[in-house]
Amino acid sequence: MTVDSPAARVRDGRASDAPLLVQWMLAMAWQTEHKRLNAVVLERGVAAVFERPERGRYFVAECADAHGASNAAGMLLLTREWSDWRCGDWWWIQSVYVAPEFRRRGVYRALHAHVRALARATPGVCGLRLYVEKQNIAAQTAYAALGMGDAGYFVFEEEFAAL
């Protein structure tokens, strides 16, 4: 299934996209949180999604350039979390990135619409969730404009050493 919009065409990510996905996630972590990720661990993490699809699913948005050639413009990773309260799966939107030259052109809107349509068409999906850095006001504004709201939770974590 693909969702086409005036801004972008969304497709499933492919293993051949992995180097670009890694590059984009390195950039996203730095731009949003000033974190430098370990590229070797990240490469293994991306490859692991393609090796075991139950871990998640990447989507890539493509935009046509002035000559009609298709260029990768953005991405997201979709993962699942079981909710016993709702007897269904929350779909989590993660690793969102839009290349700088394609920002403010509806690329994320196309990715979000694609995932939302899939979620609504999939029995047992109870909703979409994502987390966003507290200071990333631009992302919060974009998510709110698409109908998402503050879920009223804080995210706590205990991080262990990288694998």
Residue extents of the structural domains in the chain? 3-145
Query: Mean per-residue pLDDT for 90-116?
Result: 96
Q: Specify whether domain 3-145 bears CATH 3.40.430.10.
A: no
Q: 3-state DSSP call for residue 160?
A: coil
Give pLDDT, residue 84.
97
Mean pLDDT, the chain, integer: 92
Tokens describing residue 28: 């996203």
Digit-coded pLDDT (tens) for 109-163: 999 999 999 999 999 999 999 999 888 898 899 999 999 999 989 889 898 876 6
pTM here?
Answer: 0.90
**Rg (the chain; Cα; Å):** 16
* Residue given tokens 């699809």 in the structure block: 53
